[in-house]
Structure 1
Amino acid sequence: MNLFATFKQSIELEQALSELESSYVKADQILVIYMDNEPQQVPLVGRTKDIHSNSFEAGMASATGSAVIGASIGFVLAWGPIIWGLIFVIIGFTIGYCIYYFLKKDKFHTLNPKKEAEILVIIQCTETLAHPIKEILWKYQALTVGQSS
């Protein structure tokens, strides 16, 4: 008879395996299989999924354009092109950062986190040991437990 159980990677899995090995079955009667997750898609080069770095890029682009406008206007105004260019850099960065951040923050927060990998444990045992082994598996928080004859 074979028993099947799935676990998340945790200390409970290690405790269950050590208790099973010490009480009911030998180590060569237990097979542990690490299940792979869906492969992650690689983002485009230079693009991240962090909203703050993307907002910073948008703010810098807006600051650059604003600095040109501010310096151009500064030739006519009292403080000169350098001061007005710096003032417009700060204003442009703030506006660009805030607009991008507030428009995109909902999309970044609704992304599904990556699922944790599960581990499949296959235990070869006799019919008489099936019930106590199942109890140990449930005790240590197995996600699912099944059996085959």
Structure 2
Amino acid sequence: MQIFATFEYSPLLELAISELKARDVGEIYAVPLALRNEDPRILDTIHRSDGVSYIDKGFILAFLLATIGASKGFVWEWGPVIWGLIGAASGIVLGLAISWCQIAYKRRRTRLRIRKGTKGDVILIVTCDEGQVHVAKDILWDHQAIGLAVTE
């Protein structure tokens, strides 16, 4: 039987592996997961959406500021069309600036976290006999496994 468990990379993972080896539970295989290094796309498509986009806030602010500009443009000198276009352009620029600042802050925070030694998650695969499954599950849960699955 195989037991799949996920852990954050920490000393508890090392303790779990040591305790499994001490109890002679079976074969142990650890696979570290790589952290995501891909930059977000400018526009999301129908076929691939990562949930992060530079332009979403810009479109929302462009709509809001164009509406305000067009309605106030009836009173102002240049008219509603020009003020609507000015509002739309300034909304896109403002939204892109906000998105750029947020992404720059996240990158900086991620780089600092990686520099401090934070790693990704680790998948631990334990192959053992059917009688040892309960012992291995207890050890893994005691050492703060994030998730656990047993297969035959």
Q: Structure 2-normalised TM-score?
A: 0.49
